[in-house]
A = this chain, B = another copy of it.
Amino acid sequence: MADILVVGSLAYDEVQTPFEHRREVLGGAASYFSLAACLYSPVRVVGVVGDDFREDDIDRFRRRDIDVRGIERRRGRSFHWFGRYAYDMSTAETLNTDLGVFDGWCPELAPEHREVPFVFLANIHPAIQLNVLDQVRTPTLVALDTMNYWIEHERAGLEKVIARADVVTLNEAEARQLCVTFSIIRAARKILDMGPRALVVKRGEHGAMLFMRDERGDGGGQSPSPSVFWCPAYPLEKVQDPTGAGDSFAGGFVGSLASSGALDADALRRAVVHGTVCASFAVESFSVDGVEAASADGIARRYRALRSLVGIGAETLAEVAPPGR
């Protein structure tokens, strides 16, 4: 079991769905990530909050033995986000973003945080992500998330940090935007060519795809086809709040890798299933309540359900190959 460092936002969200409207609920990428990842391995959070951040909410992390010493409290208002979902309960429309104390913040890592082997750079300015990477010493695995805004406005910086990441997580639209192509397979090839060993494309209710550089490739000329893994979303009848699905996914993903220590292709595939499971808990309730309520048993149950969702009993050759003509 290895430690995980996450650098990202701690926020208060206002979330509007066609069915409900909630205000001032705990949000932020680092919150979702930590509460999911801590189910697997010890987590240390690095982030910034304002005077309005409730001590109760920091206690929610403490109760999970999350190291909160990297949370800096500054004068001013915490990061606030206001988003709305349409009936498809899929992509959020951002109605307002108030960076508050997050604006201009750049973390200085404490010595004990520089040695952490698993690092998740949540969706923040690529310059901050690069700065954090300059402070950590030889991490085992760096995972990275980003968003359309940075693809549009900070492409050069983003490409630099992608080149230094081991795993990149993007949603479908971001992958297409980053690579200016509709084809997810072409986008995946382009992103893996930038440097990372693996790419996760998150597709909401359609699951997640993992692309891994085929390291058996001959290295000459054209990039070899990446190897692909596809995990369906956990089928839910009720989705209450899709916010944080991607960060909870990252929490389960990085958490499971840090927990086992294995980084081979099968371990990455399993990590995608764990990410999917954590995301399913996240979207069932508002705010971080869903990941917070998840248990090890519940995770194992959903993990097995997801595996049986794609499983078939042993197959004979005749069942795989038609008789032919």
Contact = CB atoms under 8 A, between A and B. Distances in A.
A232 B259 CA distance: 28
Given A206-B203, A237-B185, A312-B273, A322 B230 contact: no
A150 B16 CA distance: 36
Given A237-B183, A315-B270, A296 B309 contact: no
A311 B306 CA distance: 11
Interface in A256-275: 256, 259-260, 266-267, 269-270, 273-274
Interface stretch (A22-30, A51-59, A77-85, A297-305): A297-305
A319 interface: yes
Interface string A33-71: 000001111000000000000000000000011000000
Interface in A218-234: 228-232
Contact of A320 (B39, B185, B303, B321): B303
Interface in A190-247: 203, 206-207, 228-232, 235-237
A319 B270 contact: yes
A215 to B, nearest CB: 16
Q: How many copies does the complex hold?
A: 2
A311 B269 CA distance: 8
A295 interface: yes
B269 A296 contact: no
A299 B274 contact: no
B40 A323 contact: yes
A237 B186 contact: yes
Contact of A260 (B1, B300, B311, B319): B319
A184 B237 CA distance: 8
Instruction: Sort chain A's interface into a size bin.
Output: 35 or more
A289 to B, nearest CB: 16
B323 A304 contact: no
A126 interface: no
Contacts of A232: 207, 230, 232
B319 A297 contact: no
Contacts of A303: 320-321
Contacts of A111: none
A65 B324 CA distance: 12
Contacts of A256: 319, 322
A309 B255 CA distance: 23
A64 B322 contact: no
B297 A321 contact: yes
12 contacts: A38-B325, A40-B322, A87-B182, A183-B237, A185-B236, A203-B206, A259-B318, A270-B312, A296-B321, A296-B324, A296-B325, A307-B312
Interface of A: 1, 38-41, 64-65, 87, 182-186, 203, 206-207, 228-232, 235-237, 255-256, 259-260, 266-267, 269-270, 273-274, 295-297, 299-300, 303-304, 307, 309-313, 315, 318-325
> What 5 pairs between A and B have smallest CB-CB spacing?
A296-B324, A300-B321, A310-B310, A266-B313, A230-B232
Given A64-B325, A207-B232, A296-B321, 17 more contacts: A39-B322, A40-B322, A185-B235, A185-B236, A230-B232, A230-B235, A231-B310, A232-B232, A256-B322, A259-B323, A267-B319, A269-B311, A295-B324, A296-B323, A296-B324, A303-B321, A307-B315
